[in-house]
Amino acid sequence: MTRTETSSTGLPPNAAAALSYLAWWLSGLLFFLVERENRFVKFHAAQALVGLGTLWAVGLTFWVFAFAALFVSASAFKVLLYVAYGVWALGLIAWAVCLIRAWKGDEFELPWAGRIARRMAVKNGDGS
């Protein structure tokens, strides 16, 4: 990838890829829908959507279960709430790493979400 190329958003690819992580899965969805040409940007947008979206959803699920557990046990509430916070903390770490690596121009893959994102980018991108 050369630094002079642009994405269909009009931004340099590394900036568009980093911005696709800015608001977790929401910005990933936006850039995934808007980007038409650049596979690098499409990959990072898909990874934000799949990887960070999944971590957010899992954290939210534990959070909801924690508050449902209040009717059963205060201990269960506390454990589930800490698990939710742990998942979200893991998400913050993944978010920061992905954002920085995208800004640097790296195609860093999250362990399981990267493969899915790569397939999504090739399927919906130009395949280059």
Inter-residue contact 77 to 69 (CB < 8 Å): yes
Which one, of 34, 36, 28, 38, lies nearest residue 5 by Cα?
A: 38
Structure confidence at residue 8 (pLDDT): 83
What are the structure tokens assigned to 115, written together?
């493969």
Nearest to 17 by CA among 55, 54, 49, 58: 49
- C-alpha 104/C-alpha 77 separation (Å) is 41
Give the global pTM. 0.84
pLDDT of residue 127: 45
The pLDDT of 97-118, averaged and rounded, is 91
Residue 122 scores a pLDDT above 90: no
Alpha carbon 55 to its chain centroid, in Å, reads 8
Residue type, position 44, single letter: H
Determine the pLDDT at residue 124: 66
CA distance 27 to 40: 15
